[in-house]
Amino acid sequence: MTTFKKLLLAFTMMGASVAAHADTTNFAGLTFGQTSDKVKKSNALNDNLNHPNADGVIGKDNTWGVRLGQQDSKGRYYATYDNVSGSHNGIKLRQENLLGSYDLFYPVGGSTKLFGGATAGLTKLTQDSPGFSRDSDIGYAIGGQVGVLQQVS
């Protein structure tokens, strides 16, 4: 089992093993988004491959994933796994993210809440282009989010 899959399993088990309180709600869902990555290449790679354009490989491509978490009246925490892949000019890349997030709620009405939070985790980028050696690397990811939650019946 790869390190990335072990981490995904650990996040899943952690979320499933947390004791639920009377006012805590478990949730699960699918994620969908769009990404645009900028890839910085080494000088040696640029010189040997005639300066390939790797920025367009994952550009405006759709991301898909799953999310598991818990929330109460004050906030929510959740784990997300998502991935995106793309190819451009003979270069094929795949990015996978394993993230943990926490959002704090601020009620502004009976069924409306503002939220703000932070996200941290790991991201794995794999290069699997025809004619090249397969390679991958894992790095860190951090971010933040703000938004509005509206209860819809």
Closest residue by Cα to residue 119 from 147, 140, 149: 140
Residue ranges covered by each domain of the chain: 3-150
What's the CATH number for 3-150? 2.40.160
Amino acid type, 121: G
- For residue 41, the model assigns a pLDDT of 66
The whole-number mean pLDDT for each consecutive block of 10 residues of the chain, a chain of 153 residues, reads 56 48 84 79 69 71 93 94 86 91 94 95 89 87 94 85
Q: Spell out the SS3 assignment of 96-137.
A: EEEEEEEEEEEECCCCEEEEEEEEEEEEEEEECCCCCCCEEE
Amino acid type, 1: M
- For residue 16, the model assigns a pLDDT of 47
- For residue 96, the model assigns a pLDDT of 94
- For residue 19, the model assigns a pLDDT of 43
- For residue 13, the model assigns a pLDDT of 52
